[in-house]
Amino acid sequence: MSEPKNLPQSISYKKLTYLMLNAQKDLHASDDKKNTDSLEKQEFDELINNWEMVTKDVIKTISKRNKNLLKDKSSNSLIALGAMEVHINMALQALNAFKKDS
């Protein structure tokens, strides 16, 4: 392949920077980025929704205080379970706040 004859042998950094800043943006690259961002947001939303459903099921199970699930557990384990329940509820509240702002 022959090289075009109008290309300079060298270019200054200042001139290169000027050309880069004033170059037209590639419209297709922008579309690809939008599609990728949209796909990532969709995957994240799906992940968050799945987490919310599973977390609510865990909270319902903990709230039932099923004796079969809690038998043979030490008092420290029960305290830890209660603390986990509180933290999960706070996480759900944080998720709701996030969703309101989105």
Q: What is the pTM of this model?
A: 0.58
Question: pLDDT tens, 82-99?
Answer: 899 999 999 999 999 998
Question: pLDDT tens, 12-39?
Answer: 888 888 888 888 777 666 666 677 778 8
DSSP string, 13-46: HHHHHHHHHHSPP-HHHHHHHHHHHHHHHHHHHH
Distance from C-alpha of 48 to C-alpha of 85, rounded to nearest angstrom: 18
Distance from C-alpha of 53 to C-alpha of 25, rounded to nearest angstrom: 42
Q: Are 70 and 78 in contact (CB under 8 A)?
A: yes
SS3 label, residue 96: helix
